[in-house]
Chains A and B, each alone.
Chain A
Amino acid sequence: MEALEALRMNKIVKSFGSLKALDQVDLTVAKGEIHCLLGENGAGKTTLMKILYGIHQQDEGEIYLNAKKVKISSPKEAITQGISMVFQHFMLIPNLSVMENIILGQEETKMGILADKESRNKVANLSEKLGLKVRLDMLVEDIPVGEKQRVEIIKALYRGAEIIILDEPTAVLTPQEVSELFKVLKTLKEDGKTIIIITHKLKETLAVADKVTVLRNGKNQGSITTDKATPEILAQMMVGRNVMLEVVKGKVEKGPVIFETKGLNLKDKLKNINLKIHAGEIVGIAGVEGNGQTELLETLIGLCSPTSGSIIFDQKDITKDSVEERLDQGLGFIPEDRNDRGLVNNFKLWQNAILGYQKRYEKKGLLDFAAITKASETIVKNYQVKVLGIDSKSSSLSGGNAQKLLVGRVFYHNPRVLIIAHPTRGVDVGAIEYLHKEILSMRSQGKAILLVSADLDEIRQLSDRIAVIYEGAITIEGDGGDFTEDELGLYMAGGLRPESKVVKA
């Protein structure tokens, strides 16, 4: 039986200035299908979806919903047409409750008065039917990312969405949360909803999607059903060459300990953290988001000071040093969320390329533009940041390209110790291959590297040693090869109590 067509985008063209982001792109999605959009960073996935959601207008091409031609000129219109989009960067209002966020703009009223009960019942029904657990009375700022995402999905359904677009929904989720999300998506599918999902994770694509469409450089590279696809085939379609999906890690002689924490405590957030990182070593921190990673990172870089304990860098106690002093001594930092602490979005690329290192581009108080240009251009070139020029705003970068800029900035400035969180978040397979090679080459150069990542594959592939963080404490630590994926998952969920800790030297 031929499935009904829910959506067809026909020969969509979209340019930003002189950059052709989409060139005659077709996309057909059947009703009740989970359709995955794949493509390199900057291929145009988000742009295509923003057109469907009415944020951008196409220059050319048509959109058909249920075989009827439509014009979508604003998100509001998209919503009335039954299209909702969940962005990678959540659009919730932090200081409103979950309930308020869900009904915002769609409040049920009775003769002009808010009918709280009705809305509440409706939301509760939705969340129960689909197994989307959310706490309606919590403030959004107090709930973890995974729950925020469920709130976004309920919000979309509450508005009566028939087509739900999810832009890289799994980038911020733990493996457990990912499989929960996929369960939800499959329930939605059975309910007859159509889902379009963007992701860079090929395994996930195969696990959840029915069909895949690949974009490359703003052009459609064709579609394939997942029963005929393998990760290798998909990678090949995306990048146009064979990609090494697994890194090959050489052996590196460990040097002396360069970076160390001794009994680090931070209120009730961090408990007695002892970490030792040698030169030429990668230590991976595995853990479910919200178990103290943020606090650990902020303490190490100097954004907050520990209640007790000390941080030693090259045998020097830096616990009391400011962020600036730590950066000066050669600490390199990639924050968890590039939009929050990493980049200044409406500033130009070059202004972002030197952020944190502006001192090095100062000549008698003035900015040395020649040096800045040279550095920015080198970073763009070496880290394959797809951008018109170094004067482009960094908000015009696609998600993955922004991440490459952030990583490039830190690596380029030659740190001695690297504290990196989610270095490949939102980055395409080809670029992940490259960034992983770079991280390993930093290791061979004798840098000490602390890697925090929600991606277990990444942690397992790169780390020489792995430490699991749970409720603010390191519950187990061992050599990278010591853990299977399942074991790690178990430890991360608190499956092992701190008192039974097995530490291998």
Chain B
Amino acid sequence: MKIIKKAANLLLRLALALIIAGIILFVSGYSPLKAYKAMIWGAIGNWNGIALSLVQATPLIFTGLAVAFANNCGVFNIGAEGQLYLGAMAAGVIGAYLPPLPHYLHLLLALLGGALFGGLWAAIAAWLKVKANANEVIMTIMLNSIGILFCSYLANYTFKASGPVAQTPEIKSTAVLSRLSTGTQLSSAIFLGLALIVLVWFVLYRTKFGYEIRIVGANPRAAATAGINVAQKITAALFISGTLAGLGGAGQVLGLHGRFIDGFSPGYGFDGIAVAILGGNSPIGVLFSALLFGLMRAGGMVLDRTTNIPVDFVLIIQAVIIVMVAAPELFKALKGGVKDVRTVVKQ
């Protein structure tokens, strides 16, 4: 009952968003119907479209899951973008520079490296929150800029491949996440994402650790009274969140680009926030909302390619949809959460 109501409400808001975006298009002299047809056709009209949508959805599964995991513990991780970059860079470097290794071992190391660096990057924010009571929202935003610029520096100087582009050398074939079908860009990174959905669900709802994480997220003062170490849980949750985002970056490098390319993410980390919130911070919800966002992105790309509608409109349509669909939940999420660790446990 509740789920049906929620879904109906969501569809209504989605329809409203499309109408508003349609009006904007119409006023600007373009045909909304044509535009939407192109988008929908491009996103699901044929196998290529579907593949494109899935390719776009893949990193969003990771970043959405990352943000959702932290939200379950009452911490708002806006820093998934930076963690994604760090993870991508680590995977790119490990993939390209390690001496020859057996295939799966090399791949595994590259993935682990991506996870670890994403996680550590997020853990800095956790550490500052727990030790100095810094606001994680501001910390993760600042770490975003630092992380992205740092990776850019590495791609421009330290690990730069020869050539005009700011990118690292191509990864060795032993570190590649295989493509699923020739002719598309879809890689097995999506299976990794699906596996993580199941794993995160299991951890959150079936383990004592997940139970404690969620109690901290829902009522940190009751959690502390129940003997749960709130600071430790927050740190763990942010670290895991960063790991998930980092894996998303690694997936892009090892499965799609074959190397770290400066500026490779069009904001997957930020979209992850909307994905998580739209998905109600549940792993299953994240899966569906990542797919929806993937469709939107793919549709937008096709729109850009096949019509004369300027690319800015694609962004406007996406923005209207995000505002209509995810913003109400976003505000709710911002209001809750562990605001001040010190009010929970007095030192």
Residue numbers of A with Cβ under 8 A of B are 298, 301, 303-305, 322-328, 333, 335, 340-347, 351, 355-356, 358-359, 361-362, 365-367
Closest to A323 in B: B227
Residues of chain B within 8 A (CB-CB) of A367 are 206-208, 211
Residues of chain A within 8 A (CB-CB) of B228 are 324
| Beta-carbon contact of A355 and B208 below 8 Å | no
| Beta-carbon contact of A366 and B206 below 8 Å | yes
With A298-B346, A324-B227: A340-B208 Cβ-Cβ less than 8 Å? no
With A323-B224, A356-B226, A356-B227: A344-B215 Cβ-Cβ less than 8 Å? yes
With most chain A CB atoms within 10 A of its CB, the pick from B206, B222, B227 is B227
Closest to A334 in B: B225
| Beta-carbon contact of B226 and A355 below 8 Å | yes
Which are the 8 A-B pairs with shortest beta-carbon distances? A324-B227, A356-B226, A304-B346, A341-B225, A323-B227, A362-B208, A344-B219, A327-B227
With A327-B227, A356-B227: A343-B211 Cβ-Cβ less than 8 Å? no
Residue B212 lies at the interface, judged by CB distance under 8 Å to chain A: yes
Closest to A351 in B: B211
Residue B218 lies at the interface, judged by CB distance under 8 Å to chain A: yes
| Beta-carbon contact of A322 and B229 below 8 Å | yes
| Beta-carbon contact of A301 and B208 below 8 Å | no
Residues of chain B within 8 A (CB-CB) of A342 are 222, 225
Residues of chain A within 8 A (CB-CB) of B215 are 344, 347, 351, 355
Residues of chain A within 8 A (CB-CB) of B223 are 344
| Beta-carbon contact of B211 and A358 below 8 Å | yes
Q: List B residues 198-226 near A (Cβ within 8 Å).
A: 206-209, 211-212, 214-215, 218-219, 221-226
| Beta-carbon contact of B208 and A345 below 8 Å | no
A-B Cβ contacts below 8 A, count: 72
- By secondary structure, the B interface counts as helix
| Beta-carbon contact of A324 and B208 below 8 Å | no
| Beta-carbon contact of B207 and A355 below 8 Å | no
| Beta-carbon contact of B227 and A322 below 8 Å | yes
| Beta-carbon contact of B208 and A341 below 8 Å | no
| Beta-carbon contact of B345 and A347 below 8 Å | no
| Beta-carbon contact of B222 and A343 below 8 Å | yes
| Beta-carbon contact of B222 and A333 below 8 Å | no
Residues of chain B within 8 A (CB-CB) of A341 are 221-222, 224-225
With A322-B229, A343-B222, A356-B227: A303-B345 Cβ-Cβ less than 8 Å? yes
Closest to A361 in B: B208
Complex-state Cα separation, A333 to B225, whole angstroms = 8
With A358-B211, A366-B208: A303-B225 Cβ-Cβ less than 8 Å? yes
The residue that B225 contacts in the complex, of A328, A351, A356, A361, with Cβ under 8 A, is: A356
The residue that B226 contacts in the complex, of A345, A346, A358, A361, with Cβ under 8 A, is: A358
Q: List B residues 219-263 near A (Cβ within 8 Å).
A: 219, 221-229
Residues of chain A within 8 A (CB-CB) of B206 are 366-367
Residues of chain B within 8 A (CB-CB) of A346 are 218
Complex-state Cα separation, A53 to B277, whole angstroms = 32
Closest to A369 in B: B206
Complex-state Cα separation, A359 to B221, whole angstroms = 18
Given contacts A341-B221, A345-B218, 19 further A-B contacts (CB under 8 A): A303-B224, A303-B345, A303-B346, A322-B227, A323-B224, A323-B226, A324-B227, A327-B226, A328-B227, A344-B215, A344-B222, A355-B222, A356-B226, A356-B227, A358-B211, A359-B208, A362-B208, A366-B208, A367-B206
Complex A-B: 5 CB contacts under 8 Å: A333-B225, A341-B224, A341-B225, A356-B226, A356-B227
* Nearest CB of B to A187, in Å: 37
Residues of chain B within 8 A (CB-CB) of A340 are 221-222
* Nearest CB of B to A49, in Å: 25
Complex-state Cα separation, A343 to B221, whole angstroms = 10
Complex-state Cα separation, A335 to B222, whole angstroms = 9
* Nearest CB of A to B230, in Å: 10
| Beta-carbon contact of A323 and B225 below 8 Å | yes
Complex-state Cα separation, A367 to B212, whole angstroms = 11
Residues of chain A within 8 A (CB-CB) of B225 are 301, 303, 323, 333, 335, 341-342, 356
